[in-house]
Each structure stands twice: as C-alpha cells, then as structure tokens.
Amino acid sequence: MNHIFKITNVRVVQAYGLEVTFSDGVVKIIDLEPVLYGEMYSPLRDIKLFNQVKVDSEVHTIVWPNGADFDPATLYNWDKHVEEISRRCKDWETVNYE
C-alpha cells in the first residue's frame, strides 16, 4: 500500500527540534540539527530563521522563508533515515548565514 504523507501541524519545541503532526494523527519530535548543512539548510542554523517554520498547505510539508523544505515521507520515517542523511550532508559546504 502506498501511503501519502501529509503534515498538518508543526511546532518548534527546542533549538532545531520540531514537533510534527501528520494527517494520520502520528506526532513525531524531530531534531534537524544533524542535517543543517549545505546551501539550503545551513542558513537554518540561524535560530530566528529556523523558528519561522510553517506548514505549506499546498504541498503539506514544512517550509522556511529561504525555500528550505523536507519531504514529508522522509520526516515520517526520520528515525530510519537520519543517520544516513546526516552522514551524507556533512560533506555539503556550510554557508555562512550572517
């Protein structure tokens, strides 16, 4: 069965940590700090920008004003993917956001 993942709510719960609610009622606490590297994601290390996260009602995922977003399926299965994603993204260039 192919599950379509949709995010219905997001709330910042700690520095780089989000409480993400999915349309099936599942709620996950996701620490994004290990993956905040590269041109798109390193600017989110600025906590003021990170805290501007919202749910895009058209694509049903979390987004930031700089255009950063995450695939809802990846977030739903975060525990399965975080180690591999964080290992890969540490090779991405960190961009100074200041």
Residue 51, domain member (yes or no): yes
**What predicted TM-score, i.e. pTM, was given to this entire model?**
0.85
Closest CA to 22 of 58, 91, 73: 73
- Better-scored residue on pLDDT, 51 or 38: 51
Residue 24 within a domain: yes
Domain CATH for 78: 3.30.2020.10
Beta strands in the chain (DSSP E): 7-14, 17-22, 27-31, 54-56, 61-63
Domain-located, residue 48: yes
Number of independent structural domains in the chain: 1
User: In which domain, by residue range, is 52 found?
Assistant: 7-89
Inside any domain, residue 57: yes
Q: Which of 70, 62, 75, 79 is nearest to 38 (CA)?
A: 70
- Please tell me the least confidently modeled range out of 50-54, 58-62, 90-94: 90-94
Nearest CA to 75 out of 14, 43, 31 is that of: 31
Tens digits of per-residue pLDDT, 25-46? 999 999 999 999 888 899 999 9
Write down the pLDDT at residue 1.
Answer: 44
